[in-house]
Each structure stands twice: as structure tokens, then as C-alpha cells.
Amino acid sequence: MQYDWIDFYTEFATKLLHFKTDRKTLIQKIYAVYDATGISVPKLESGDEIIDIDPFTIFGTFNKGITNANRIAILNGIASEFEISATVPSNFDGIPVLNNLKATFYGFKDDRKANDIDNLWSLFEVALALADNDTEDNRQKFSNAYDKVHDQLCIRWNITMALYWIRPYTFINLDSRNRWFISNAQNMPGEFVVAAEKKLKKVPYAADYLEIKDLCKKVLEAGQYEYKSFPDLSYMAWVISEKVNQEKSIEKGKKTSKAEFLKWFMPLLQALRDLGGSATPVEARKKIIENEHLSDDVINETRGKTKVNKFENEVAFACKFCSNGTPILKSAVHSF
């Protein structure tokens, strides 16, 4: 399953709600998770001691620029401490991550207002309620809580990422990659792009956020595109933006002796998808050969004095490139 993180994330979010009024116990559990993993607790307060915390920041501790090994270790600790029944994921496709230096959703104790963390908990609670039951009453409660949080210190586009983490099929992530992707008429219908363009110039308030979410969901569910859900959209935005960024680097004349590997980038991703999300290097290459109907000349071509197989070498570089932040692909390149 490509998005095997979703079951774990949604179950953990549901479990966290039980600690809305018992944050002292919650903080003890967070310390216990990190003690079990042997990883240092991230800096979540101006002093050494966590005195209060919100649920989005807890999710942020494992959705930022850390290694996948550390992320999995933290999730194993969470699974044990919070009795999560879902399988700990090893694949994190479609997950936006925070900047390590801006990983909390609140200011430290001398900067935040008295109700900032309470407001985040209120938004968390009504977001789960809206995801479970999309009524006008729940939408109004969500809007009130979201708009209150919107103007708080440390809240920007990250709040849309956080809502997506806890219920990824309900809330759209509006990180920079997604904003770039859905603002392009090649990726979304022109009428959607026009409707969303002004709303994406700055962090939207609830009315605009819900409108973007609803419009986008309607487009995806119509089945016109390969991406049919918000996780699909986030994953595709990452894939395409990485490809575009690399191509731009090449256009700007940056040195890259391995530029030819780009042509194997999309075939590799498709092969891995066809193979259930992970594969050995040999399996991945065989699937690419099958999908792309490659000739023996292409498969067997060599280069250089050492007669290195050109196809195998370029696919290896494609694996290494797209493995950055994509654990599914890392598992496919270890033996290269």
C-alpha cells in the first residue's frame, strides 16, 4: 500500500484527542517515546522542559527534516506508548515536512499568548469532527477555530499541512509544492486555477481554505487526472516539482555528468508503483524494460573503457535522486 502512513496517522490523531484536558500525562508520554528510541527530545520550549504542547506540534516532531530511520524509530515508540494498532509505516509518500527551525505551532512561553495552545487543541478537535461528519454546524465550528488560530504566532501555511497530517483525505495540504502544482492549468482545470489563484497569495482564512479544499476535492473525484485524492495530489506535486527543479538546474548550466538519468525518473516511479511500492534493483529494471518496451540495444549498451552498462547505471542514478525523502525508493536502491 503506497500510503500506509495514513492509517497510523489518523489513529494516532484520534488517540491524541483524549489528552486535550490531560496534557501533563501527554508530555510524560512524549518523553517516554524519546527515552525508548534513544533520540534526544527536540527543542519545544525556551527552557529544557516542555510545559505545554499542542497536537500539531507533536505531529511536527516526526514530520520535519529528520532521517527516515529516526522517523520510524519515533513512530515505533509512539505505537508502543499510545497503543496504536495500525502498522508502523515505512513509506512516507505524499507527506509534507516542516523546516527543522520552525517545527512548533506556538511561540515559546515568553512570546505566546495565554490561549494559543488551547486554541490549537480546539481546532484539532473540530477538524476531526468535521472530517467525521461534514455538517454546516461542524463547518462553522471549524471556521471559528481555524480563524482564531490563523493569526497566532508561528502559524502560516504549516496549519494546512497539519490538518492534512491528521485527516489526509479530508484536508488539503497547501505547502509550497502543492500551491505551485495546483496553480498550473496543466495540472488542474483552468476554472479551478482562476478561482484559487487569489486565495493562494497568502495564508487563507477558513472560508477561502474550505472553498479551495472543496473545489479541489470535486476536481479530483471527477477522475480527470491520475491523482484522485489529496495524498495522490501531494505525492504527484512532489514528484513533478523535483523533476522540474532538476531540469532547471541543468538549464542554468550547473555541472551534472549524470543528467541522462532524468529520462528514467518517471518510468522508475511507475515501475515501483506497479510492483506494490518497493522492489529490488533487478525487479525495478525488469519492470521498466517491460513497461517501456526497451530494445536489447538499449538494455545492453555500455560506455567507457570499463564497459559499464549504461541502462543499469542511469537507473541507479535515478534511484539515488528520487530516494531523497522517499523511503519507498530507498528500499529499492540499497544494493546498487
312 is a domain residue: yes
H/E stretch holding 180 reads helix 176-182
Of the candidates 59, 50, 51, 54, the one whose C-alpha atom is nearest the C-alpha of residue 19 is 54
97 is a domain residue: yes
- For residue 98, list its beta bridge partners: 64
What pLDDT does residue 257 have? 44
What pLDDT does residue 269 have? 82
- For residue 163, list its beta bridge partners: none
Of the candidates 80, 79, 96, the one whose C-alpha atom is nearest the C-alpha of residue 88 is 79
Q: Are residues 143 and 271 in the same domain?
A: no
| 3-state secondary structure at position 64 | strand
Q: Are residues 9 and 123 in the same domain?
A: yes
CA angle 85/90/93 to nearest 5° reads 110
Q: Where are the alpha helices (DSSP H) in 38-100?
A: 55-60, 68-81
Task: Give the residue numbers spanning the domain of 317.
Answer: 257-333
Mark which of 113, 147, 166 sits at the end of a domain: 166
Strands 308-309 and 302-303: antiparallel
Could you tell me if 116 and 156 are in contact, meaning their C-beta atoms sit under 8 angstroms apart? no
In the numeric block, the cell 516542516 is attached to 98
What pLDDT does residue 252 have? 63
Could you tell me if 25 and 178 are in contact, meaning their C-beta atoms sit under 8 angstroms apart? no
Biggest CA-to-CA distance, the chain: 71
126 is a domain residue: yes
Give the pLDDT of the chain (336 residues) as one tens digit per residue. 579 999 999 999 999 999 999 999 999 999 999 999 999 999 999 888 999 999 999 999 999 988 999 999 999 999 999 999 999 999 999 999 998 888 899 999 999 999 999 999 999 999 999 999 999 999 999 999 999 999 999 999 999 999 999 999 999 999 999 999 999 999 999 999 999 999 999 999 999 999 999 999 999 999 999 999 999 999 999 999 888 877 776 666 554 444 566 778 778 888 887 777 777 788 888 989 988 888 888 888 887 767 778 888 888 877 765 554 343 343 333 333
Backbone φ and ψ of 309, nearest 5° = -70, 115
What pLDDT does residue 27 have? 98
What pLDDT does residue 266 have? 79
Q: Are residues 159 and 292 in the same domain?
A: no
124 is a domain residue: yes
Mark which of 111, 131, 166 sits at the end of a domain: 166
What pLDDT does residue 319 have? 74
Instruction: Round to whole Å and give the CA distance between 329 and 321.
Output: 9
205 is a domain residue: no
Instruction: Round to whole Å and give the CA distance between 236 and 317.
Output: 20
What pLDDT does residue 335 have? 30
Q: Are residues 17 and 160 in the same domain?
A: yes
How many structural domains comprise the chain? 2
Instruction: Round to whole Å and give the CA distance between 334 and 336.
Output: 6
DSSP state of 40: P
Could you tell me if 59 and 78 are in contact, meaning their C-beta atoms sit under 8 angstroms apart? no
Mark which of 166, 193, 220 sits at the end of a domain: 166
What pLDDT does residue 210 have? 98
Residues in the chain: 336
